[in-house]
Structure 1
């Protein structure tokens, strides 16, 4: 079972890392014109639900990855709403 946990950590790390460049770019440039508000809303809420699912199933890899991704998505969403 532990090997499966490693796959979960690797998947979570990679998919979370994928959001980091976008969040940093938005944070630095304060420009979000090309980001869809609907995408940002749905993605933020979806990631939050994945975190809740991981919590309910006691899945640390899922909780860590989606917790961090949720914060990154909040940055993107807040900047999208603030700098329309």
Structure 2
């Protein structure tokens, strides 16, 4: 038995941008799909553990953004990664 096309899970369709603003790693994603999708932002921190945002759920046809800072002992944000799922 196979799932009907309407019930099949939609692959990740988020269209995301990531950037650094001062000491904040920011991710902004748009969902052009038909199902709810989630993402999280990872700040790649210097001399400190990486920092992770909460999961953000993006409804179809909408956008969402979130930022996260490195810890106080970090030398700053060296990169940003978007993680999909949730």
The answer to whether the superposition gives a TM-score over 0.5 is no
Larger radius of gyration: 2
Bigger fraction of residues in helix = 1
Higher relative contact order (CA 8 A, sep 6+): 1
Task: Please tell me the TM-score bracket, short chain as reference.
Answer: under 0.3
Higher strand share: 2
Q: TM-score, normalised by structure 2?
A: 0.24
